Amino acid sequence: MRKLGILLFVVLLLSACGPAQTAVPTSPPEAPTNAPVVAEPTVEPTQAPTVEPTKKVYPTWTPRPTSTPFPTNEPLPFEETSLAELARARGIDIGAAVSVDPMLRDSQYSELLAREFSLMVAENALKPGPLQPQQGVFDFSGGDALVAFAEENGMRMRGHTLLWHQQSPAWMEKGNFSREEAIQVLEEHIATVTTHYKGKVYAWDVVNEVIDQGGNGLRDSFWLQSIGPDYIEIAFRAARAADPDALLFFNEYGAEGMGGKSETQYALLKDLLDKGVPIDGVGLQAHLQYQGGPNQMDFERNMQRLADLGLIIHITELDIRLPSPATQKVLDEQAEFYHMVVTACVNQPACKAVILWGVSDNYSWIPGQYRGMGEGLLFDLLYKPKPAYHAVYEALKQ
């Protein structure tokens, strides 16, 4: 009887503990064997953001559930407060690259620009090609129209760009100048342009994309060939001499996160600053791609080390391209990416501007450059606000 009692007790105990658990070993998932080749050096591989224990964790923006998509035939509502007002309240700017033609001819474009943005940058009009089509002959008409619009609407005007290996006039690029002649051409261009816009353009991209595609050194441009590596400091010194009040920027793409080109950029900037070259800021272009990099941690680390050099940071050419036409899910993911980028800027005291590379998707450079891609901005082909607009709104407001 006693034995039966013990047996009953054991059976009851076992059944109370439930079925035996089999320990499943946890191992990291296998790396995919068919990982795509990253063809474009500007895009860093996507990494899951690891949050350091001491790191500040930002509130994340939750996209509208995809099960309740925005009706496609109705615009997303604009918020009452503009992005410009929110940005100004934070002591930063939200900007857009502007083309002269739509600004003058398309009232929807110009109204949206004036309402939502606190800063504008010339998408093309202030590049050397349009500005000095023949040696010594300057055409300021496009730039002047942009500046007038900015002044009329209380917006800041940013200049892009005093030097570039693209969109330079043929006479400048193929002139076979000696070093001395090339220095003179460069100095004259910079002095004439910055003097013309003195007091009107508050910040200039002085040099644009001077690091080579692979990120290993200076680009083998006609400026490097005719002058040598010191063309960069010559350009900055010429700009400072002509307009001592303008902020002078070094602008680059594909150097937003850590590693690769970003290391070259950091080392170059440090070296130039150590030599006393008058550089006030660094422009991180941020032509990003849906499901691409940088991840939040790398982006913040890179901005911090640039800030530690004493540099102002502008996100100068932000867009996040997508396979187009995009689904609601993809638009929501794009919005999340926007939220990360703008939040990172808002939380970095040295970051003073976020500039979109265009006002709306219909005038964006992306479809012309990347087949099947587009929809990289905050407003769609019909100027309707996209989820990305609301994400930027929330990021500026938080």
Shortest distance in whole angstroms from residue 208 CB to ligand G3I: 6
Residue in 44, 116, 209, 252 annotated catalytic? 209
Residue 251 contacts by C-beta under 8 Å, 6 or more apart in sequence? 160, 161, 205, 207, 208, 209, 282, 283, 285, 316
Residues across the chain: 398
Shortest distance in whole angstroms from residue 53 CB to ligand G3I: 37
Residue 298 or residue 317: which is nearer to ligand G3I going by CB? 317
- Specify whether the CB–CB gap between 94 and 83 falls below 8 A: yes
Q: For residues 352 and 146, give the distance between their C-alpha atoms in angstroms, rounded to a whole number.
A: 21
Short-list 288, 276, 277, 349, CA closest to 316:
288
Question: Does 180 qualify as catalytic in the annotation?
Answer: no
Q: For residues 285 and 235, give the distance between their C-alpha atoms in angstroms, rounded to a whole number.
A: 20
Shortest distance in whole angstroms from residue 125 CB to ligand G3I: 9
Residue 346 or residue 353: which is nearer to ligand G3I going by CB? 353
Give the Cα-Cα-Cα angle 229, 231, 233 (nearest 5 degrees): 100
The full DSSP string for 194-255 is HHHTTTT--EEEEEES-B-TTSSSB---HHHHHH-TTHHHHHHHHHHHH-TTSEEEEEESS-
| Residue of closest CB approach to ligand G3I | 365
Shortest distance in whole angstroms from residue 365 CB to ligand G3I: 4
Shortest distance in whole angstroms from residue 254 CB to ligand G3I: 10
Shortest distance in whole angstroms from residue 34 CB to ligand G3I: 30
**311 token code pair:** 């540099």
> Amino acid letter at 194?
T
Residue 90 or residue 165: which is nearer to ligand G3I going by CB? 165
Residues binding ligand G3I (CB under 6 A): 123-124, 166-167, 208, 253, 285, 317, 365
Question: Does 52 qualify as catalytic in the annotation?
Answer: no
Residue in 116, 300, 317, 375 annotated catalytic? 317
Shortest distance in whole angstroms from residue 157 CB to ligand G3I: 16
Cβ burial, residue 144 (10 Å; 0-12/13-18/19+): middle
The full DSSP string for 111-159 is HHHHHH-SEEEESSTTSHHHH-SBTTB---HHHHHHHHHHHHTT-EEEE
Residue 49 or residue 260: which is nearer to ligand G3I going by CB? 260
Residue 86 or residue 211: which is nearer to ligand G3I going by CB? 211
Residue 296 or residue 364: which is nearer to ligand G3I going by CB? 364
Residue 357 or residue 389: which is nearer to ligand G3I going by CB? 357
Torsion of CA 69, 318, 364, 36, to 10 degrees: -80
The residues carrying an active-site annotation are 209, 317
